[in-house]
Amino acid sequence: MPRAKRSMPEKVSVQCRVNGHDATLLDFPMARLLDALREQLSLTGIKEGCGEGECGACSIEMDGRLVNSCLVPVAQAEGATIRTIEGVADGEQLHEVQQAIITHGGAQCGICTPGMILAAVNLLEHNGRPTEAEVRVALAGNLCRCTGYTKIFESVLAAVTVAEARD
């Protein structure tokens, strides 16, 4: 559809809080939050794998809930509190899940890793002691083609052990 023939929407300004900082996004209202965060805030740790909410590589937390940022129009981020992979570590101190993924081989090519970590961290915030079966369910929306998932399960369960020892 040629653009000139239709009245175009204006870009909208969206205020939200991202990884603990106030942020303003300026984009077409139907633009994907994925693109806005990557391009305007340089949060390129959020990955695009499929663009249809199937692979989970673009997973972020929005108001404490895991979402696929490729399926969120930017207009719906107004007032939202967002956490991306860049906001998971505490400065240089990695989250237990991040550390466990390094130690236990839970990342290979790394493209699913940010989304996978968000999904795992989100799980542990709702369920501090998941079983392997629960881990499998929680990560079913995050596809990994490299690892066969086995080492990801090991990583998440190891992170639980580390977190418990710390607490």
Partner 1 sequence: MRSSVASFDLRTPHDLPSVLELLAREPGEWRPFAGGTDLMVLLEAGKLAHRRYLNIWNCRELRNISASDSEMKIGALATYTDVKGHAILQREFELLCRAAEETGGIATQNRGTLGGNIANASPAADSPPALLVYDAELELISAGGTRRVLYADFHTGYKKMNLRPDELIARIILPRGRGGWKTYYRKVGTRRAQAISKVCLAAAAKTENGAIADIRIALGSVAPCVMRATKTENSLRGKRLDAAAIDDARATLAAEITPIDDMRSTARYRSRIAQNLLQEFLQSCATT
Partner 2 sequence: MTNPSIGRSIPRKEGREKVTGRARYVDDMTLPGMLFGATVRSPIARGRLRGIRFGEGLPWNELTTVTAKDIPGKNSIVLLEDDQPCLAAELVNHAEEAVVLLAHRDKYLIEEARRAVQLEIERLPAIFSIDDSLACKEIIWRADNVFKSLRVDKGDVDAALAEAEFVVEGEYETGAQEQLYIEPQGMIAEANGRDGVTVWGSLQCPYYVHKALAALFALPAEKIRVVQMETGGGFGGKEEYPSMIAAHAALLAWKSGRPVKMIYDRAEDMAATTKRHPSRTRHRTGVTRDGKIVAMDIDFTLDGGAYMTLSPVVLSRGTIHAAGPYDCANVRIRSRAVATNFPPHGAFRGFGAPQSVFALERHLDQVAKVVGLAPDELRRRNFVREGQTLAVGQVVHEKIDMNELMERAFELSGYRAKRERLARENPGSTIKRGIGFASFLHGAGFTGSGEDYLASVAEVEATSEGKIRVCAASTEMGQGTNTIFSQIAADALGLECSSVEVVQPDTAHVPNSGPTVASRTCMIVGKLVESAALGVKQSLLQNGFLREEDGHDAFAGACRLYIEKFGPLRASSRYSPSPEIHWDDAHYRGDAYGAYGWGVYVAEVSVDTLTGETRVEDFVAAQEVGRVINPVLAAGQIEGGVAQGVGFALYENVVWRDGRMINNQMTNYIMPTSMDVPPIRVYFEELPYARGPAGAKGIGELPLDGTAPAIINAVENATGIVVRRVPLTPEILLDALDAAREKVHA
All residues at 6 or more sequence positions from 149 whose CB lies less than 8 Å from its CB, including other chains:
136, 139
Q: Which is nearer to partner 2, 84 or 122 (CB)?
A: 84
Sign of the four-CA dihedral 27, 111, 83, 123: positive
Closest CA to 15 of 62, 77, 68, 101: 77
Q: How many CA atoms lie within 13 A of 26 on its CB side?
A: 1
Q: Lay out the site mask for partner 2 across 92-121 (x = CB under 8 A, - = otherwise).
A: --x---xx-xxxxx-xxxxxxxx--x----
Q: How many CA atoms lie within 13 A of 46 on its CB side?
A: 28
By CB under 8 A, is residue 83 in contact with partner 2? no
- Minimum distance of partner 1 from residue 107's CB (angstroms): 19
Residues binding partner 1 (CB under 8 A):
1, 3, 6, 8-9, 28-32, 51-54, 56, 59, 65-68, 70-73, 75-76, 78, 119, 122-123, 137-138, 140-142
Which does residue 165 touch among partner 2, partner 1, none (CB within 5 to 8 A, set by kind)?
Answer: none
The secondary element (H helix, E strand) that includes residue 96 is helix 96-104
Residues at the site binding partner 2, with contacts judged by CB under 8 A: 1-5, 28, 38, 43-52, 54-55, 57, 84-86, 88-89, 94, 98-99, 101-105, 107-114, 117, 135-137, 139-153
